[in-house]
Structure 1
Amino acid sequence: MPDTTAQLILTGGPVLTMDPAAPHAEALAVRDGTITAVGAASDVRELRGPRTEVVDLRGQALLPGFVEAHGHPTIMGLAIAPPALDVRPFTVPTGRAVLEKVRAAVAGAPGEAVAAYGIDLLLQRDLPFPTRELLDSLSPHAPLVLITNSGHAAYANTAAVRAAGLTATTPDPAGARFVRDAHGEPTGEAHESAAVIALMNTVAGDRLDGANVARSLRWSFEQHARVGITTVTEMAAEPRLLPALRAAAEDPEAAVRVRAYMMGTPEAAADPAHRFAGHAPARAGFGISGVKLWADGTPWQGSIATSFPLKDSAAARRLGLTGCTHGTMNYGPGQLAELAAAFTAQGFPLACHVHGDITAEAVLSAYEKAAGPDRLRALRPRLEHCGALTPDQFRRAARLGATVSLFMDHVRWWGDVLADDLYGPQAAARWMAARSAVDAGHRISLHNDGVCSPTDPLSGVATALTRRSHPGGRVHGAEERLTLDEALRAVTVNPAWQLHLEHETGMLRPGMRADLTVLNRDPHTVPAEALHDEVHVTATYLGGRPTWP
């Protein structure tokens, strides 16, 4: 007879399974990376053998491993893993400190290219606009590039512009652009992925060396495991970095499972050999889940298409948005529809970055033209971020068979910016309208978008419960709050479903992978306003293997 004794038993605390058939349990058993029993402690203890490891939770709560629905582990490793220059507002809150760090980095590496990731002109209020002239004064001879926290814009000095080979005749990449002066010359400012990458390449240096990429990815994976994540989505997989990402994720000691969406280029859409190979099973450390498109940009650059105007505020003027009332899309509706149809015909599930409500109309129409509801429901095409989507648009998306993932911590970090500087209180109140999405019938996920906010699923959960901004604590859109159980499902079972992994991960049920997160206490015992400060991850397991601490 096969040996059915457990290799690992966790008991002594509440088990929150996310399984609607049996939402609560007392203990859980694991063998060969798979959950073999969930239930009463007395029943699970019967599976104990002489070599079983028994973990006493001591009142802590056991949940499914968190699933980061929209992450960027590769960028996270390359952009902020030590010794990279991390100047995001969460780590460097003032513009003065940003410039000090950049000056020190340039002085410490004379003649070498320098990149700084994470500037935010809306949160680092005293940071001067990073003109080419300012960056030339910081680094007169070697390339210097400052990338925004959103990743949707970058600013380069003259040396970097020259290293990138940018001239008045350089064409804009598809879905991106280089900002130009009155004579058509590049100013050093770039918007959207392909243009930003062109500038980043000038300062990448040996960061893209195989050993450095592998080391950066290990660090990135460990940062995800520290906050309870067992599956992370790479939402902008670059072909040239794909082998390194695959190798890192397939390492038997990798701290997370990775599912990647490839960058959707017109070249890939036109390639008849470009076909979806199918979803990898959860036991595989790496798999391709689909293709990613960027329909618009970011509210922090005014590059999203909305039906409501930008405010004429000092902050908007500082960003150069004077006279820019509504923002734009990266692709025309026709281009977007053609790309969506091509990738859908190739069999790829689509994930489309969309913030503006006007952009959302174009994305939904593109999905509708690409396939009928039955085909779309099978593919589960996604809308990513969904900042300004309306209740009607969430309902339309649900009818079409599309699904949505919300960047909930936009409200936490930029709620006051949305209300006071960019769009006004009404827009802030409906930003990331999670309640509207759930009421429309969506299995929503919540995400942190890689480096764009601190990677922490519990932060998104807390924001979904309170909709409080940081640091002032203002509430934006109380009517769009979720319940705790809805928010927890949005970082476990729902994103697992979006990745076609729902039969193997996302809940605690016999036969599923033993992806586990241990919290210091049951979040149901903590007031919503205190959850962010009082609840934290104490242990993480991937397939029954401890990955943190």
Structure 2
Amino acid sequence: PDTVVVELDGRTVVPGLVDAHSHFYEWGIGEGIGADVAELMLSSGITTTAEFAVGPDLLEVLQGYDDAGLLRVRTSAYLLYDDACGTLQDGWWRAHPPTREPGELLRIGGIKVYSDGGACNVPAASFTYSDGSEGDLYFTVDELAAIVAEVDEAGYQVAVHALGDRAVVTALDAFEQVLVDGANPRHHRIEHNALVPPELRGRYAEVGVVATLFGALPTCFFTNPNNQFTYRTPAEYVEWEWPWRELVELNPDTVFAWHNDYPVLDPGIGRALEGFVTRNAGDCIAPPDVAGHAITLDQALRLMTVGGAYALDRDTEVGSLEVDKFADLLILNDDPYAIAPDGLVGISPLVTVVGGIAEYCAPDVGELCFGA
């Protein structure tokens, strides 16, 4: 008797997006909008997110938002083992055990370990940057394996930040030491995987680790020398950047997940689809070495929904539209399968639904805005 029937008139419905790694709340607090940053997530199509650099102060703020009923997006908090500069955080996270209550709006999701630079310092590469350095690697394989084992034994999921290829191979080797026969019941993860040389691309399935991949490609990074990044991959290694097609094809049993890493990248569903499927970014057209790493629309949407849910260990709750999962979904302004790839950037949600309630409605959607 309480069922609400909404006439869609042929509009496209997809599961709500699951952003496996971002910094929305940290950014929102810095901008003075606090919990209202949820409006940005919802208007981008995100119904589940992960706040990925949570220290004691930010955790207290998030718990306050949760207690006050201000969280509108399902949020998994990943607590800091070390900070972005590699400084250890003295095990404070042990006082906050992981939670796995179905449907909870605030979850203690796991522990984040920075293994190389990026937000602070420089990604650890096997080549030499223009300043003569090879970036900053924070741990050896044995040191990182000991950290992974420590956190795993304490009952947490581990997520290892690895941007440069030296960090990626260190993380793969460390997880290989810890994950017996590739079994990964906690869904341990490698974050970013931004610089992956050919010899590493087939190892993810062998190791058994989950991997997060960027969507909205900053194509201007490759085409404009005056970009916002302080480090730059030499031209002969550009083919190593974001090699998503080979990663997906060479590791068919590996779960890959989309992550936004906001505010690094544009959070919108259209920009992520454009980046995955075309590798372009507006007027910046991807060079051949970069364009060759595009993936299909099917693969992109999977990364952005069920892949993200698995990466957050929430795949029994969200990520797909099926019985016994929460009604987190999007009504889109267009069918992404019915338009040309260069039009994907225009895809956006008319309505974003979390738990059966329309939490965001675009202007003038009328009766589509149900339950708000």
TM-score by length of 1: 0.59
Question: Deviation of residue 250 (structure 1)?
Answer: 5.3
In the aligned structure 1, how far is the partner of 2:215 from the partner of 2:263? 14
- Report how many residues are paired: 350
Alignment-derived partner of residue 49 in structure 2 = 232
Check the 8 A contact 1:448/1:457 in 2, yes or no. no
In the aligned structure 1, how far is the partner of 2:181 from the partner of 2:78? 22
Check the 8 A contact 1:249/1:257 in 2, yes or no. no
Question: Deviation of residue 305 (structure 1)?
Answer: 1.6
Alignment-derived partner of residue 451 in structure 1 = 263
Alignment-derived partner of residue 414 in structure 1 = 221
Alignment-derived partner of residue 517 in structure 1 = 330
Question: Deviation of residue 491 (structure 1)?
Answer: 0.7
SS at match of 1:450: coil
Question: Deviation of residue 245 (structure 1)?
Answer: 0.6
Alignment-derived partner of residue 365 in structure 2 = none
Check the 8 A contact 1:64/1:515 in 2, yes or no. yes
Aligned counterparts, 1:364-513, within 5 A = 364-375=172-183, 377-416=184-223, 422-439=232-249, 440-441=251-252, 442-475=254-287, 476-513=289-326
Question: Deviation of residue 454 (structure 1)?
Answer: 2.2
Check the 8 A contact 2:217/2:275 in 1, yes or no. no
In the aligned structure 1, how far is the partner of 2:121 from the partner of 2:80? 23
Check the 8 A contact 1:246/1:286 in 2, yes or no. yes
Amino acid corresponding to residue 328 of structure 2 in structure 1: D
In the aligned structure 1, how far is the partner of 2:57 from the partner of 2:121? 30
Q: Deviations over 1:39-83 (max 9, x none)?
A: xxxxxxxxxxxxxxx3222332111011111111221212234xx
In the aligned structure 1, how far is the partner of 2:95 from the partner of 2:144? 18
Q: Deviations over 1:76-101 (max 9, x none)?
A: 212234xxxxxxxxxxxxxxxxxxxx
Alignment-derived partner of residue 137 in structure 1 = none
Amino acid corresponding to residue 231 of structure 1 in structure 2: T
C-alpha change, 1:369 and 1:269, in structure 2 (3 Å) is farther
Amino acid corresponding to residue 210 of structure 2 in structure 1: T
In the aligned structure 2, how far is the partner of 1:391 from the partner of 1:64? 33
Tell me whether 355-364 or 258-267 shows the greater mean CA deviation.
258-267
Q: Deviations over 1:418-460 (max 9, x none)?
A: 8998223443333111112211122211222021122223312
Check the 8 A contact 1:503/1:512 in 2, yes or no. yes
Aligned counterparts, 1:20-419, within 5 A = 54-81=5-32, 216-249=33-66, 251-252=68-69, 254-265=71-82, 266=88, 268-269=90-91, 276-281=97-102, 283-298=103-118, 303-310=122-129, 312=130, 322-324=131-133, 326-375=134-183, 377-416=184-223
TM-score by length of 2: 0.86
> What is the RMSD of the two structures over their aligned residues, measured on CA atoms?
2.5
SS at match of 1:55: coil
Check the 8 A contact 1:429/1:478 in 2, yes or no. no
SS at match of 1:230: strand
Unaligned runs of 5+ in 1: 9-53, 82-215, 313-321
C-alpha change, 1:274 and 1:341, in structure 2 (3 Å) is farther
Amino acid corresponding to residue 229 of structure 1 in structure 2: I
Amino acid corresponding to residue 363 of structure 1 in structure 2: A
Check the 8 A contact 2:182/2:206 in 1, yes or no. no
In the aligned structure 1, how far is the partner of 2:318 from the partner of 2:233? 39
C-alpha change, 1:241 and 1:292, in structure 2 (3 Å) is same
C-alpha change, 1:301 and 1:267, in structure 2 (3 Å) is closer
SS at match of 2:204: helix
In the aligned structure 2, how far is the partner of 1:7 from the partner of 1:338? 51
In the aligned structure 2, how far is the partner of 1:306 from the partner of 1:267? 25
Unaligned runs of 5+ in 2: 83-87, 362-372
Check the 8 A contact 2:123/2:163 in 1, yes or no. yes
Question: Deviation of residue 473 (structure 1)?
Answer: 1.8
Amino acid corresponding to residue 238 of structure 1 in structure 2: G
Q: Which has the higher contact order (CA 8 A, sep 6+)?
A: 2
C-alpha change, 1:535 and 1:355, in structure 2 (3 Å) is same
The percentage of aligned residue pairs carrying the same residue is 25
C-alpha change, 1:427 and 1:456, in structure 2 (3 Å) is farther
Amino acid corresponding to residue 304 of structure 1 in structure 2: P
Question: Deviation of residue 227 (structure 1)?
Answer: 1.0
Question: Deviation of residue 269 (structure 1)?
Answer: 4.5
Q: Deviations over 1:356-404 (max 9, x none)?
A: 11111211222223342454x1111111111112344242222221011
SS at match of 1:451: coil
Question: Deviation of residue 276 (structure 1)?
Answer: 4.1
Alignment-derived partner of residue 542 in structure 1 = 354
Check the 8 A contact 1:341/1:369 in 2, yes or no. no
Higher strand share: 1
Check the 8 A contact 1:412/1:467 in 2, yes or no. yes
C-alpha change, 1:371 and 1:535, in structure 2 (3 Å) is closer
C-alpha change, 1:446 and 1:417, in structure 2 (3 Å) is farther
